[in-house]
Amino acid sequence: MPVSNHNTTEQTDSAPSPASKPSWRFGDLSAAELMPQLQRHLLAQDIKANWQLVWLNNDGRPVIGLLPKVCWSVYPNDEQASSDLPNIYKVIKSCRGNGVRRSTDVNSDDNSYASMTAYMSYLEWQDELIAYSNAQEVNHDTSYINNEESPKPSYHHGLIGFIGYDIAALELSPADRIELAMQPCASLAHYDIYLTPTAHADIGWTLKTHLTNDDASENTDHETNDILINTLTSYLDELDQKLSDKHLNQPQFKDVSNITPLVLSPRWSKLDYQQAFNRTQDYLQQGDCYQINLTQKWSGSLARENNDVQSAFSLIDYLPALYRNTKAPFAGYVSVDGDDGDYLNKSSSFNADSNHFELLSCSPELFFTFTRENDTGKHSIRTKPIKGTMPRGVTNEQDERYKQQLVDSEKDRAENVMIVDLLRNDLGKYAKIGTVKVPQLFAIESFSNVHHMVSTITAELKTDTHPLAVLFGSLPAGSITGTPKKRAVEIIAELESTPRGAYCGTMGYMNFDGSGQWNVLIRTLQANALSNDDCNKERHVNLWAGGGITVASDCDAEYQECLDKVGNLLSVLAQNM
């Protein structure tokens, strides 16, 4: 289904245009430093609001979304269908209502959100999102839309969220009954209210809104939107003042420099990894696959002071230190409420950190960039799979030597080209004939702790294909499964023996005009309470790392590669660097 071309009617009488919104410096904090302060401040103002704060670094074009208009959160369904029928998932759809209120305003109307539960298949959910996107008014303001003068993609109105590995792997091999982690399988939300950096870097952040005509069909709706934006602006004014005055000793702020270290321990010993590696080799030797991406898990728990639920740290508190260390181009964060409608039943004693699922990614890997030509409406796609890793050196000489070793590695080049061929095949299903190209093969990109071998594939999409269908149909990414993909995910489920959850899925945005950008969720932490009882005890955190295994792989080298990939994250968490 193609993207609809709608004429935009900008709401100008009930809310200012994006260009006229106020701006804030927020103490000149970076986005990663701002996020914990912003989340705690907003929750202190209105504990009942479904803020669902999200941040995407977006390769240097960051966006912070808040208070989504509509959100779809997908969960495992306890009553799965038989193996010959599509998998059915529990989808909770929440809609923003009358706005936000002060937590101290006990007489305020609490009926600000509506929630409904549906049971649908993966494809039915995809089709609902496409229909919703096509029904929205496309923003044609060229200051937001990608063009030759603004080559980097950016969010300008659409959906933001994530789709986890587990649900995508299960859809790829439904008969294998791949286990789903007991957490959100996916969550996508329409963010019509968001913060972006101002055009002048020395000014800070500006608030942008797209409250369209369907929100304001009556005078009362105009007034409601005015109240919503004015209230939110006042909240941001207060935070800006507090950060400017360095009033970080207020109760709603934690001193992020004194966060308790978070120690994550490996689930596997080296012997466990070796046994899984050997079984992987057996499958490769038998011809089941050419490459299998084997990963292992580290886990721990978020701490609280003196066993006090209200003092529990949140994963977002570790975001500033993690981003400072990694500078990951496709980093991101999102928090999603539990599947029992908790945000509808919050009380003044509710601990906002205790029952949320949190996803914090320090990903260096691009999955897809979708671009749209304004004149023709043509959509193009670019993907940059990573396959091949070497650590950074201690000295410049050693660093260059390691980089050259990666350039010369026949094993890494062979693994990389396998994934390039897999992705060329994936894109070929959606691309116009003859448009799939490989403009760059075996390039080396350097990050804070590793060098990676990266290739680039591009294509032009068929005119009757919606980018969301390409995204849904191409998951999970070939770089984190292996090839052939279907058999690889089946072997992964057997060997790893525990669900990956969101890890190795994707996080990003899709504008309503079909442009967008999505990462591969590697170098990614997940925090979740395993049961309702655990909500009052501790929240579990996990982190994964792995690599592609071929018949030419060495067990010790592959095990060390896992440590190279997440060693800096483990150190930052343990020492709060």
- List active site positions: 365, 387
- Residue that is written with structure tokens 């292996």 in the block: 482
Residue 287 exposure: Cα atoms within 13 Å on the Cβ side: 0
Torsion on CA atoms 339, 345, 349, 350, rounded to nearest 10: 20
For the stretch 197-205, contacts whose Cβ atoms lie closer than 8 Å and that sit 24 or more positions apart, written own/partner, are 197/62, 198/23, 203/23, 203/25, 204/23, 204/24, 204/25, 204/26, 204/28, 205/23, 205/24, 205/25, 205/26, 205/34, 205/64
- Amino acid in position 256: V
Looking at 161-268, list the stretches that DSSP marks H as alpha helix, in order from N- to C-terminal side. Answer: 165-172, 219-244
Scan for tokens 């062979």, then name that residue: 414
Q: What is the CA radius of gyration of the chain?
A: 23
Closest CA to 509 of 87, 35, 100, 62: 62
For 548, the 3-state DSSP assignment is strand
- How many angstroms separate the most distant Cα atoms in the chain? 70
CB within 8 Å of 322: residues ≥ 6 apart? 32, 360, 362, 569, 572, 573
**Cross-strand bridge partners of residue 362:** 331
